[in-house]
Amino acid sequence: MNRTLKFQRVLLITLVLQFVIALFAIKAWSQTLDEKYNSLIDKSETYDKYKVISKTKLDGLWSDLQLELAASQRSISELRQSIAQAKNANDSLIASINTVSRKLNESQASNGLIAFLGIDIEHGVYHSIVWSIVGILLGGLVYFGARFKISGRVVDQLILEKEALSSEFEDHKFNSHQRMLKTKRELQTALNKLEELKVH
């Protein structure tokens, strides 16, 4: 909008300058006509209180007056055309500026939106959703990480208990085997004694 105001000011200044130049040109022509008139009066003969001016000189002055009047009218007509063209250009520029302004507003409104899953969402809402999802994922990561750590401790405890039970079982198995061997030896000894007793 600031550019529009600057352009309008420049256009107005240009039109005023053209008008002033035209006025000075008309004034210069008028001065020339005044000089011609004064020269005509000064060079004419006087009869009583009247001036006798020859018709050819008067016709020449009239012809010059008509030429300068026609030139002034052409200049005024050209100025009016310039003003009309400048007004049309100004109107066209204002219309194009309004169009650009409208498109800019539409662009800014559409830039404020993000298409997410086929839905237009404002940037702030989109960022809130994304950060909420990130927060939930981080929370889940912390929760499952803690659960994994606790599970690791439980597994380590179970492994230690299994190893202790395994060791105890091996000890029990070894002891049972030793007892069985001892019992077998004792049984064998008893059988041997019984055989000796039968033989005797």
pLDDT tens-place values along the chain, 200 residues long = 566 667 667 666 776 667 667 666 665 555 566 677 777 677 777 767 776 767 777 777 777 778 878 888 888 888 888 888 888 888 888 888 888 888 888 877 777 767 767 777 777 788 888 899 999 999 999 999 999 999 989 999 999 999 998 899 899 999 999 999 999 999 899 888 888 888 76
Q: Indicate if 145 and 94 belong to the same structural domain.
A: no
pLDDT at 60: 74
pLDDT at 140: 93
Q: Indicate if 44 and 106 belong to the same structural domain.
A: yes
Q: Which two three-digit tokens encode residue 168?
A: 């105890």
pLDDT at 91: 85
> What is the Cα–Cα distance from 19 to 80, expressed in whole angstroms?
10
Place of tokens 């004694």: 193
> What is the Cα–Cα distance from 69 to 130, expressed in whole angstroms?
79
Domain boundary residue, one of 66, 90, 111? 111
| Residues 67/110, Cβ–Cβ less than 8 Å | no
> What is the Cα–Cα distance from 198 to 191, expressed in whole angstroms?
10
Q: Write out the residue range of the structural domain in which residue 6 sits.
A: 2-111
Q: Indicate if 28 and 103 belong to the same structural domain.
A: yes
| Helices 55-111 and 2-43, axial angle in degrees (round to 10) | 180
Domain boundary residue, one of 88, 111, 134? 111
Question: Please, how many CA atoms are within 13 Å of residue 150, restricted to the half-sphere of its CB?
Answer: 6
pLDDT at 84: 86
Cβ contacts of 121 within 8 Å, gap of 6 or more: 113, 114, 115, 129
Q: Indicate if 126 and 86 belong to the same structural domain.
A: no
- Number of domains forming the structure of the chain: 2
Q: Indicate if 75 and 138 belong to the same structural domain.
A: no
